[in-house]
């Protein structure tokens, strides 16, 4: 199993327990991995440029 698969599985497990999960990772090493989690059940919002605007965009989900 690749490390990326292991991390993605861990993130999905965390999402089973909560409605939202904030991943702060300034280097962008996991950008593709997190973006790849997007599905009908999971909405991925990139808050890098403006966390306030992104929070407003997902407020209805919280």
Q: What is the pLDDT of residue 42?
A: 82
Residue 8 has pLDDT above 80, yes or no: yes
- Nearest 5°: the CA angle 9, 55, 27 is 55
Helix and strand numbers (H, E) in the chain are: 3, 0
Provide the number of structural domains found in the chain: 1
Q: Which domain holds residue 26?
A: 3-61
pTM of the model: 0.61
Q: What is the pLDDT of residue 6?
A: 92
- Per-residue pLDDT of 11-57, as tens digits, reads 888 888 777 777 777 788 888 888 888 888 888 877 776 677 777 77
Burial 23-42 (b: 16+ CB within 10 A, else e): eeeeeeeeeebbeebeeeee
Which residue has 């599985």 as its token pair? 9
């Amino acid at each position: 199993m690749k490390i990326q698969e292991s991390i993605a599985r861990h993130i999905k497990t965390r999402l089973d327990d909560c409605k939202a999960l904030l991943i702060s990772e300034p280097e962008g090493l996991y950008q593709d991995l997190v973006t790849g989690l997007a599905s009908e059940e999971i909405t991925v919002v990139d808050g890098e440029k403006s966390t306030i605007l992104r929070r407003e965009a997902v407020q209805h989900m919280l």
